[in-house]
Structure 1
């Protein structure tokens, strides 16, 4: 064994100790420098691109407190997402028309169309002749696209239903600017444009909405659907929903060759899109025949939006043509569109009369006291779309026409309407309709001495911004037996239609 193998070299021990101390010093310096870098990068984010400065011995370090992090930066100010009020220019009408009926039906469109204000298109199957002067009173006229590629197998219907069902999509493809809603109707549909806006203003046009109403005929709704908007009464589709419909409609139409009309094809596509019908009772299909007095005289508490099937029913004003009668009704719209044909009722307790007012249309005066619950139900002056159906064939409550000779109503139709600037009220003159009345044995006063009913009212454009409520009616004093004065307006606090 070598006795010198583990013998230490002179001076090596001191050298090793010095190296060890030097290495430890380097580690300490590295750790301090690394901590400086980390802290600077966490607290000096704005200076990330600047060279790091070494920390002096006098600087006090504080590690980041992870239990109390710095507050996040404030959120950006919210954008104004409230849409501007709905205007006429935001609505595009699509009118389905037939060339064979155009000369007659165009007169209905002229009644409500507003040149330079309303926007939309009449879609025809063939070209028609229109004078330059007449074209100024009508919407733009286009020819519908070819639908021969689509299958149609319903033996009771007509292929025209295919082109009519594409009216909304074809109107969308025209690329009108700032459109929020598409409203579809027929060439014999009359719209109250102001009330179209009032109804649609309730809904967010950025969402999917399919708005309309069902038929007055229970049988019609059974055959087709209670969940379908009937096209003649008109319906509205929001812009984003119209875009979705346009993308898939042609393929959707191919899947339903056996359907009857255009509106049930629209409904079938809406069902595929998962969008239900939002019902608004002011859209009126009027699947009825005969006299509309019972329906127009007891309108639901909702804005009147549309009237349809005007060629089928009697003229709404006796002694006038259909177009003339509608013109007179629309004169009331100019004075107070929100209140057109809104019903109110009151009682003349001294004479024992019940009075029902359909503002802008007719006043009915009846002997005896009839409860409000009965007066708000339409009388059956009209016939069901299916003539064999009885009163159970309607999709709403009705009451029979009075059979007692003493309770036949005396009718006073609107003859003129003016605005009194001094009193700031609308003065409506309703003249008695000349028709025979059966002999009555009741000893109470008879309305047969009345010739005129004058209804006073103030315009109420904001009525549909409040909760729905009927106006109240009050009988005013009169010096003449032949004239009755009525006031129609907002109900006072505690006022009711008491018997």
Structure 2
């Protein structure tokens, strides 16, 4: 290196003197200087190559040591979680649920959990604020195990409108992680008044690499709620999923993080604050439903997004999803289509009875609606406002998505048929579901056209498609079939053909 420095200094001196005294010949001939400089470059290249090779081997050695040292505390991504076979596709056993509950409402809300929980196939913990009487009945033994959350009295809480329980609930994922479950890919958070469709949850999470840092959920239906909290926050009631490595990262810093946000209101905004510090954004999946609304979910569920239905929250707030039954009975009925064809649950298809100038909208496994006249799919895929927003105002600007008003004209109001039963025919590989008209008092319509009130039942035939969400999202097509049964409409639903479209005419 000294040799190179001397040559460069001499070259710079010669060059400067050449500019100052252009008439004076340089000390060294140009050819000699060029040769010396070329040789120096070769020497430098050789020196750097040797140095890099030496440093590279040393660097590799230091990395391997670092891995061995870190490996005692943090498994490498390949080992997340312990004993996991990466060749196995994600299933229910790879998911651990952390369910937020309170002793005050436990007797009432455990009935919701019992509807969707599969004790032989699922793992999870219900986290309570204080002990409850353990039921000895067979039904109670089918629930997840119950634990009491850790003491959070050391944490600051300064929000005047909230409750300290938010701190306890925000730590559920970390506390569940520390229980040491094996073969875990995802931790899923939910409330005790949330109904999950586990099969669809698996379908959604299977799309993502569980070895990466993922925070998956959805926003509120209330525009003001999202403004007050964040459009980038996963709402905990609707449920959200955190990958195993992200749960580990969260557990290591969460208690410190919580102390930095004493003024926040709830648990999900505390989780969101820690995710922001970890640099992990929300990955939105529209099938998680917070349902910050009041009233009937008919408009929302009958125009469900083209995505798997994963969860329904605020079951104590909204009306039962089926009329003339209580909330638990309504969800019990929903289990029938879930068991037959869970991917298709609530998926909307639209077709036309052209002879009678009717529009038929099918939300499979839930409702069929018949409209007088011809309506475009573009209009019917917008939820009708059968509900009020979270602040109980009839203000359509309060929603975080498009809505349409419920028709006031008697002739434009749809005739609604609710699911009564469904079964599977092994010989034809088809499901047959029956929907019965929900008869209510109506104003008389004077339009001179066929009257849908004369239809008592709608029979819908459909082949189950377990791979529906392995393809690009697309609505199924439907057709109104001819039938000789009086008072009955028959509809067939299936994958749209190559050149098929839902056209008005």
TM-score (norm 1): 0.83
Q: How many residues align?
A: 421
Query: For residue 193 of structure 1, what is the aligned residue in structure 2?
Result: 198
Query: For residue 473 of structure 1, what is the aligned residue in structure 2?
Result: 478
Query: For residue 211 of structure 1, what is the aligned residue in structure 2?
Result: 216
Runs of 4+ in 1 over 3 A off after TM superposition: 79-83
TM-score (norm 2): 0.82
Aligned-residue offset at 1:134: 3.4
1:435 lines up with 2:432 in the alignment: no
1:126 pairs, out of 124, 130, 153, with: 130
1:95–1:361 distance in 2 versus 1, CA, 3 Å: same
1:250 lines up with 2:250 in the alignment: no
Per-residue CA deviation, residues 456-485 of structure 1 (Å, 9 max, x unaligned), is: 011000010000000001001110230000
Per-residue CA deviation, residues 44-72 of structure 1 (Å, 9 max, x unaligned), is: xxxxxxxxxxxxxxxxxxxxxxxxxxxxx
Paired with 1:487 and 1:366, the residues of 2 have a C-alpha distance of 18
Structure possessing the higher radius of gyration over alpha carbons: 1
Per-residue CA deviation, residues 286-329 of structure 1 (Å, 9 max, x unaligned), is: 00000000000000000000000010001100011101001111
Aligned-residue offset at 1:83: 3.5
Query: For residue 456 of structure 2, what is the aligned residue in structure 1?
Result: 451
Paired with 2:187 and 2:452, the residues of 1 have a C-alpha distance of 48
Deviates more, 1:470-479 or 1:433-442: 433-442
1:147 lines up with 2:152 in the alignment: yes
1:183 lines up with 2:188 in the alignment: yes
Query: For residue 22 of structure 2, what is the aligned residue in structure 1?
Result: none
Question: 3-state SS of the aligned residue for 2:105?
Answer: helix
1:183–1:458 distance in 2 versus 1, CA, 3 Å: same
8 Å Cα contact 1:408-1:437 kept in structure 2:
no
Query: For residue 484 of structure 1, what is the aligned residue in structure 2?
Result: 489
Aligned-residue offset at 1:438: 1.3
Aligned-residue offset at 1:120: 0.3
Query: For residue 112 of structure 2, what is the aligned residue in structure 1?
Result: 108
1:321 lines up with 2:326 in the alignment: yes
Paired with 1:183 and 1:155, the residues of 2 have a C-alpha distance of 29
Equivalent residue runs for 1:405-416 within 5 Å = 405-416=410-421
Question: 3-state SS of the aligned residue for 1:406?
Answer: coil
Question: 3-state SS of the aligned residue for 1:486?
Answer: strand
Superposed CA RMSD: 1.2
8 Å Cα contact 1:316-1:326 kept in structure 2:
yes
Aligned-residue offset at 1:92: 0.1
Per-residue CA deviation, residues 420-475 of structure 1 (Å, 9 max, x unaligned), is: 12211100010110112211111010101100000001100001000000000100
Equivalent residue runs for 1:226-245 within 5 Å = 226-245=231-250
Unpaired runs of 5+ residues, structure 2, are 1-77, 79-83
Paired with 2:442 and 2:481, the residues of 1 have a C-alpha distance of 26
Question: 3-state SS of the aligned residue for 2:257?
Answer: helix
1:435–1:489 distance in 2 versus 1, CA, 3 Å: same
Equivalent residue runs for 1:44-59 within 5 Å = none
1:279 lines up with 2:278 in the alignment: no
Question: 3-state SS of the aligned residue for 2:142?
Answer: coil
Paired with 2:395 and 2:436, the residues of 1 have a C-alpha distance of 33
Per-residue CA deviation, residues 259-305 of structure 1 (Å, 9 max, x unaligned), is: 00000000000000000000000000000000000000000000000
Deviates more, 1:129-138 or 1:148-157: 129-138
Question: 3-state SS of the aligned residue for 2:127?
Answer: strand
Paired with 1:184 and 1:174, the residues of 2 have a C-alpha distance of 15
Query: For residue 498 of structure 1, what is the aligned residue in structure 2?
Result: 503
2:354 pairs, out of 339, 349, 352, with: 349
Query: For residue 367 of structure 1, what is the aligned residue in structure 2?
Result: 372
Question: 3-state SS of the aligned residue for 1:178?
Answer: coil
1:85 pairs, out of 80, 85, 89, with: 89
Query: For residue 310 of structure 1, what is the aligned residue in structure 2?
Result: 315
Paired with 1:389 and 1:440, the residues of 2 have a C-alpha distance of 26
Aligned-residue offset at 1:389: 5.8
Query: For residue 33 of structure 1, what is the aligned residue in structure 2?
Result: none
Paired with 1:109 and 1:82, the residues of 2 have a C-alpha distance of 30
Paired with 2:125 and 2:190, the residues of 1 have a C-alpha distance of 11
Per-residue CA deviation, residues 385-420 of structure 1 (Å, 9 max, x unaligned), is: 012361011110011001111011101000011111
Paired with 1:317 and 1:140, the residues of 2 have a C-alpha distance of 30
Question: 3-state SS of the aligned residue for 1:474?
Answer: strand
Unpaired runs of 5+ residues, structure 1, are 1-78
1:294 lines up with 2:299 in the alignment: yes
